[in-house]
Chains A and B, each alone.
Chain A
Amino acid sequence: MSIASTDPGQVSLAGLDELWFQVAGTRCNLACTHCFISCSPHNDSFGFLSMEVVRKSLIESVGWGVREYYFTGGEPFLNPDLVEMLVLALEYGPATVLTNATVLKDEWLERLRGAEEQGRYSLEFRVSIDGPDAATNDPIRGEGTFDRAMCGVERLVRHGVLPIITMTRTWAEADDQRVLSRFRDVLAQHGCDRPRLKVLPRLLIGAEAIRTCGYGKTDRVSARMLDGYDSDQLICSHSRTVTDSGVFVCPILLDEPSARLGGTLAEADRSFTLDHGACVTCYQYGAICTNPSGQSYEQMGGGAGGVAT
């Protein structure tokens, strides 16, 4: 049977490498104008995850051979149980928390750094700051948020954290090197002289679709586009996201009913149809949600395996 050019691509779960927890739901102390799930203090589409759900999921994740855990929102630190959730997760594997760094407290960081030092796994802090200065960041994230986030970075550094700084590109892609270079200088001035930087593409859904524009009807990943494509670059081939409303295919498509794959991880172990504009952005840029240490690039060629005698 031939594949029609309009057939959407499908991606199955090759293995559950990353388990995401939508731990703060869509609740955030900020209301960024590019947020792909429109998080704000008033968005209750998704609520906080309970400690019990996280605990059960961690236990269940062992059987899936999960490599690492991500905690996101909204702003994860709004969930009063987050610190203990992260401490628990570190007993199972490496954990990453995605924060805007504006609400951090010293006692939380002391507890988390202590847990990391006592265990064997890394705890990563991924801090969202959308540019190397207030003029770039604040129109997106809110007035004063650049300074507040940099204070958060300073606090993290004081506790020995080496943050990953992520920025959503609101400049021309050709300007990336200039922005990154400037960002390194600014971070160094704030005591953060060993940052890991990650530039993220804009996802034209949620608030961003209103701020700029959304995807067109033809912005879809077709089955033919997946021919010869390394599906490992797509988060849906190796991740699932636990929310208070079931398990979703990824942390991006929470507003899409078809992205809810079931109530449990077992139910969510099925293929996903890439019938959404945002899938094109994942396809185009690849590995946009993963930490730099967990990425692997498409491998060309390579010899077959052998048996030594």
Chain B
Amino acid sequence: MRLAFFGGLYSNYLALEAAIADAKRRDVQKVFCLGDMGAFGPHPDRVVSLLRDADVTCVQGNYDDSIGNELADCQCGYTDPRDNLFAQISYDYTLEKTSPDHRRWLRELPASLDLERSGVRMHLCHGSPRRTNEFLWESTASDAFLDRLIEPTGAEVVLGTHTGLHWTRTTPRGRRFVNVGVLGRPANDGRTNVWYTLVDLSEHRAGAGPGVEVEFVPVEYDFGRLSDEMRQEGLPGEFVTTIESGWWTTCLEVLPSRERRRGRY
């Protein structure tokens, strides 16, 4: 069985369209989104319509909780005042442009999902199994910590997003954590594509454990059109630069040193 996962749409409806089409071409049987539909990009209603039309099963991110409940900010937890300034511009724009019907839909999304496919138990969350807005960075999550987080879920595979950077690890106890990446902005690698994740599951075989294959898939999309629309909507130029260059220009303060070094800024 082949499943597709993505998260962090950040209103990038063009990348979402491209990812859903790509997943269909690859015979994906079910598509999941792990939250944070809005922020950063233009016309936030468009991603929600696409998700609903394509019957994507969704988990709520911190942004969705904020927009759905019309909170004062996005609960992203940035520490740099500059990040918070840009985040607030983006948040106010997204809240204003999200229809009441879509706000209601975002509000009612579940904070997590448990499912079993091909005998593999999976736990879907946004940040971590214990907290929606917890950052699980590859370089700051010890093996022992991942095992402790995964244990109470009873799952063999835990999937999350939230940080914007995709990665996966199998722990010493044989459990798998997958950060499925984000479709909303590039992965701070100087490339304009974004990422989603394919998971191929096969039945347990005696002594072999669950068969779980994870593949990160690059998605090309019309980023020029997205950046034009971001400018037209008056969104911060720093965000547009990220879309056009592939380098993060904001939200850098929360990056651990290993992840920060890979970027330009």
Point out residues on A near B: beta carbons under 8 Å: 15, 17, 61-68, 92-94, 116, 120-124, 160-162, 176-177, 180, 194, 196-198, 232, 291-309
* Chain A residues in 8 Å Cβ range of B99: none
Task: Give every chain A residue within 8 A of B109 (Cβ-Cβ).
Answer: 303
Given contacts A93-B144, A120-B138, A302-B65, 5 further A-B contacts (CB under 8 A): A67-B140, A121-B140, A295-B254, A299-B65, A308-B114
Is B140's CB under 8 angstroms from A122's CB?
A: yes
Whether the pair A293, B135 counts as a contact (CB closer than 8 A) is yes
Do B113 and A293 touch across chains, with their CB atoms under 8 A apart? no
Which residue in A94, A299, A304 is a CB contact (below 8 Å) of B133? A299
Assess the B258–A306 pair: CB atoms within 8 A. no
CB neighbours (8 Å) of B259 from chain A are 122
What B residues does A122 contact at CB under 8 A?
Answer: 137, 139-140, 256-259
Tell me which residues across on chain A come within 8 A of B260, comparing CB atoms: 162, 194, 196
A67 touches B141 (CB 8 A): yes
Q: Closest residue of chain A to B112, judged by CB? A: A305
Is B131 an interface residue when CB atoms closer than 8 A count as contact? yes
Q: Is the interface of A mostly helix, strand, loop or mixed?
A: loop
Instruction: Please determine whether B253 and A300 come into contact, CB atoms closer than 8 angstroms.
Output: no
Contact of B139 with A94 in the complex, beta carbons under 8 Å? yes
With beta carbons under 8 angstroms apart, the residue of A66, A120, A232, A305 that contacts B144 is A66
- In the complex where A299-B133, A304-B111, A307-B114 touch, is A293 in contact with B256 (Cβ < 8 A)? yes
Least CB distance, A5 to chain B, in whole angstroms: 30
* Size of the chain B interface, CB-CB below 8 angstroms: 52
Q: Are the CB atoms of B144 and A64 closer together than 8 Å?
A: yes
Give 19 pairs: A residue, B residue, CB < 8 Å, sorted on A: A17-B145, A67-B140, A93-B144, A161-B257, A176-B81, A194-B252, A196-B260, A291-B140, A293-B135, A295-B77, A296-B127, A296-B134, A296-B135, A297-B133, A299-B62, A300-B66, A300-B69, A306-B114, A309-B115
In contact, A65 and B144 (Cβ under 8 angstroms): yes
Question: Nearest chain-B residue to A62 (Cβ)?
Answer: B144
Chain A residues whose CB sits within 8 angstroms of the CB of B225 once the complex forms? none
* In the complex, chain A residues whose CB is within 8 Å of the CB of B25: none
Complex Cα distance A64/B57, Å?
34
A134 to B13, CA, bound (A): 50
Whether B147 sits at the interface, judged by CB under 8 Å, is: yes
A66 to B81 CA separation, bound complex (whole angstroms): 30
Q: Given the interface contacts A122-B139, A162-B261, A301-B65, does A293 sit within 8 Å of B112 by beta carbon?
A: no
CB pair B142–A68 under 8 Å, yes or no, is: yes
Most-contacted residue by chain A among B80, B135, B149, B256 (CB, 10 A): B256
Q: Which residues of B contact A306 (CB under 8 A)?
A: 110, 112-114
Cα distance A177–B127 when bound, in Å? 29
Nearest chain B residue, comparing its CB with the CB of A124: B257
Within 8 Å CB of A61, what residues of B?
144
Across the two chains, which residue of chain B brings its CB closest to A63?
B144
Per the bound structure, the CA–CA distance linking A129 and B66 in Å amounts to 36
Which residues of chain A have C-beta atoms less than 8 A from B112's C-beta?
A: 305-306
A162 touches B111 (CB 8 A): no
Q: Are A296 and B133 in contact (CB under 8 A)?
A: yes
Residues of chain A contacted by B138 (CB below 8 angstroms)? 120
User: Would B140 and A293 count as touching, CB distance under 8 A?
Assistant: yes
Query: Could you say which residues of chain A place their CB within 8 Å of the CB of B107?
Result: 303
A residues less than 8 Å from B265 (CB atoms)? 194
A177 proximity list for chain B (CB < 8 A): 81
Q: Are B113 and A294 in contact (CB under 8 A)?
A: no
Return chain A residues, CB-CB under 8 Å to B252.
194, 196
B232-265 to A contact mask, C-beta < 8 Å, 1/0: 0000000000000000000011111111110001
B140 → chain A, closest Cβ, in Å? Answer: 4
Residues of chain A with a CB closer than 8 A to B140's CB: 67-68, 93-94, 121-122, 291, 293-294
For the complex of A and B, 3 pairs with smallest distance between CB atoms: A65-B148, A93-B142, A306-B110
User: Counting CB contacts under 8 A, is B55 at the interface?
Assistant: no
Binary flags per residue of B16-39, CB closer than 8 Å to A gives 1, else 0: 000000000000000000000000
B243 to chain A, nearest CB (A): 21
Residue in chain B with minimal CB distance to A14 = B130
Shortest CB-to-CB span from A127 to chain B, Å, is: 13
Alpha-carbon distance between A223 and B98 when the two chains are bound, in angstroms: 40
Contact with A along B43-66 (1 / 0, CB 8 A): 000000000000001001010011
Closest chain B CB from A238 CB (angstroms): 11
Given A64-B144, A304-B111, is A299 in contact with B132 using a C-beta cutoff of 8 Å? yes
Closest to A177 in B: B81
B75 at the interface (CB under 8 A from A): yes
Residues of B close to A194: CB separation below 8 A: 252, 260, 265
The residue that A292 contacts in the complex, of B79, B147, B149, with Cβ under 8 A, is B79
Q: What is the CA–CA distance of A308 and B138 in the complex, to the nearest angstrom?
A: 27
